[in-house]
Structure 1
Amino acid sequence: MAALPVTDVMLKVEGLKVAYGGIQAVKGIDLEVRKGELITLIGANGAGKTTTLKAITGTLPECKVEGHVEYAGQPIRGKTSFDLVRQQLAMVPEGRGVFTRMTIHENLLMGAYTRDDKAGIADDVDKWYGIFPRLKERSAQLAGTLSGGEQQMLAMARALMSHPQLLLLDEPSMGLSPIMVERIFEVVRTVAAQGVTILLVEQNARLALQAAHRGYVMESGLITMTGPAQAMLDDPKVRQAYLGEE
């Protein structure tokens, strides 16, 4: 894999706009993720969070995208998702996107398709089986037969097999049981502690802000608030709008 330029800013988004036909889904946002940070982007359904991640990774359907996106100091607008994985930027999409007709083990190996270090790949498979013992127990099982939580574990482990320096997570807790949500967030914190920079889009604002260093609030295609995560947890407006408190 190509060496990344030395910079503290892993991701820089400036003036990002996305329009589907006459609908402006993202209306000119700025955000920044520094090396080693866990940043969360919170907001209601339809705020534009997933569209923002897809615009960053170039995985949107036919639409008009404007603005500037830099990863590790280099512009990445127009790059393919294949290029980005080679540059150690990976995304776990909303809905998991596992290869349903492949086994768990095959899915993990697909996550390492940009690598050729067989011993290292085998070590990483063992590492993620250690963190996700359920996957190890079911390693020969087709991914499509797994529960939603198990598929989320697999999607995260598969993305991490590419050794990303920046990991984008889109709604990892969606549709999961409370116990599984807690488990997924434990893993998010573990991965962040290992030095992987993370941008997390999440509807569970409380858990997201408790895990994050900084947060952004997105409403109707605009960033309406940003700041340290703890300060946002304590902010009355955030508490009322996103934490269900009066």
Structure 2
Amino acid sequence: MTTTVLKIAGLKVAYGGIQAVKGIDLDVRQGELITLIGANGAGKTTTLKAITGTLPECRVDGHIEYAGQAIKGLGSFELVRKKLAMVPEGRGVFTRMSIQENLLMGAFTRNDKQGIADDMEKWFAVFPRLKERAAQMAGTLSGGEQQMLAMARALMSHPQLLLLDEPSMGLSPIMVEKIFEVIRSVAAQGITILLVEQNARLALQAAHRAYVMESGLITMQGDAQQMLNDPKVREAYLGEA
């Protein structure tokens, strides 16, 4: 039986009187690529931030379990040490540091110098644009290059679970295809991924299973390929009647 890496039960998030997440259940099993799709404001990013403890002042109820341990209330730095990494919406690269320095920051929990060097070369091979600009300040990169860097930096921590929040946002169609090519490649290496994405078609094509979120609730879940052919999903998220 496949191990459950992430289990969420009855998760609720409230900002003052606003209930952003209204009691959801979600699980991610080892080696899966799971996508969470939905319109803007559905609660997708709030869900990821609840998992990683990066929400502003709010009330979080429910159970969040990672690798068999309850993690609600743990700091994000503690989660990185436990091999849970997140690429946030907006990338969040260290703009005044070089590409190489950003990647080294991704490996701050590690002390295997040769392994870190090997991994840097590994991800440079996946993202050749980054290798060409290794000494360049991250703030001077294009949006697509910053997204590549944010992903490579997270992967330098050797995550058991990688959370991706809107990786295609604001990118050109060519760069979106490249980012999804990398996501599929990372998943093929056995890294478990939970992907929040507005490009529902590409997300469903890449994923094993999917959850649909509307107004803070999970309204649909199942096999991603079957969802691609579901009339309700096609009409609401793929722009097809």
Give the TM-score of the pair, scaled to structure 2.
0.99
Matched, 1:113 2:125: no
* Alpha-carbon distance between aligned partners in 1 of 2:19 and 2:137, rounded to the nearest angstrom: 39
Letter of the 1:119 partner, please give it. Answer: Q
What stretches of structure 1 of length at least 5 have no aligned partner? 1-5
Tell me the number of residue pairs that the alignment of Structure 1 and Structure 2 aligns: 241
Provide the residue aligned with 1:3 in structure 2. Answer: none
Provide the residue aligned with 2:142 in structure 1. Answer: 147
Task: Summarize deviations over 1:1-46 as a string: whole Å, max 9, x none.
Answer: xxxxx97000000000000010000000000000000000000000
Provide the residue aligned with 1:91 in structure 2. Answer: 86
Provide the residue aligned with 2:239 in structure 1. Answer: 244
Provide the residue aligned with 1:206 in structure 2. Answer: 201
Q: The residue matched to 1:47 in structure 2 has which SS?
A: coil
Provide the residue aligned with 2:56 in structure 1. Answer: 61
CA contact (8 A) 1:29 1:223 kept: yes
Q: CA RMSD in A?
A: 0.9
Q: The residue matched to 2:96 in structure 1 has which SS?
A: coil
* Alpha-carbon distance between aligned partners in 1 of 2:89 and 2:71, rounded to the nearest angstrom: 21
* Alpha-carbon distance between aligned partners in 2 of 1:115 and 1:230, rounded to the nearest angstrom: 37
Q: Equivalences for 1:2-151 in 2 at 5 Å?
A: 8-151=3-146
* Alpha-carbon distance between aligned partners in 2 of 1:55 and 1:28, rounded to the nearest angstrom: 12
* Alpha-carbon distance between aligned partners in 1 of 2:72 and 2:13, rounded to the nearest angstrom: 13
Task: Summarize deviations over 1:89-144 as a string: whole Å, max 9, x none.
Answer: 00000000000000000000000000000000000000111000000000010000
Q: The residue matched to 1:158 in structure 2 has which SS?
A: helix
**TM superposition outliers: structure 1 runs of 4+ over 3 Å:** none
CA contact (8 A) 1:7 1:73 kept: no
* Alpha-carbon distance between aligned partners in 1 of 2:67 and 2:132, rounded to the nearest angstrom: 37
Q: The residue matched to 2:55 in structure 1 has which SS?
A: coil
Provide the residue aligned with 1:227 in structure 2. Answer: 222
What stretches of structure 2 of length at least 5 have no aligned partner? none
